Structure 1
Amino acid sequence: MLDALTIATSVAALALAAWCGFAAFRDQPTKDWHFIGMAVVTLLTLVQLIVGIVQLARGEAPEQGTTLFVAYLIGSACAVPAAAFMSLGERTRWGSATVAASAVVLAVLEVRLYDIWGG
């Protein structure tokens, strides 16, 4: 895996978590600009998914198993989009809190991906 991409995704996820957490603190639902932030984080995870699949196709293997690695890649790519859809259904502060929580989960998934790959 590319360490710089993993770090960039983790930092972007934590920034999104802080941003949406602040919105939840201020009793605000997710706004359009939050969805732009979610799109940026999702784009980073999709790039990571593609890079991971390409590295697996080239014959590189993660230390802790390919199946586990692919499962974490897919899970990390789905975490923020799933929360975005949930926040559309919950147009209160809890929609923002859901996105903040999923962004923290994504940051943890990124650390775990790094460990699985052998970092």
Structure 2
Amino acid sequence: MRKGWIVSALIAVSLLFFFAANPLGIMAWNSWFGIVQRADDVTSYKTQKKVEDTCRSMIASYEADRLIYEQYKDSSDEEKQSWAEQAKMRANKTASSYNNYILENSFVWGANVPHDIAGKLEYLT
């Protein structure tokens, strides 16, 4: 009986060491749970709604900054030109974040991307 406990303890410690301290173990652990999380996310309405809501809010922010930029970029007033440059920087930052977010989360929709979600936001030049 005592021998069984010792063997069980050694196996548990070995597995703990393998998954906690060994790079291959950490990679295996992350790979397994990454696959499980991805499968859950693909089938989860909650995840899809969160991704869509995030995309829509980023698009709204981008559009607001783009419109401010378009409105003030040719102004003769230096302060308004400054507003335009700030809006341009915010819009480009939002576009960069959005484009990365779309790449990371495109698996949520598969081929069924909602019509109001853009595949990419263009940078302002």
* TM-score normalised according to structure 1 size: 0.41
* Greater RCO, 1 or 2 (C-alpha within 8 Å, sep 6+): 1
Q: Which is higher, the Rg of structure 1 or of structure 2?
A: 2
Normalised by the size of structure 2, how large is the TM-score? 0.40
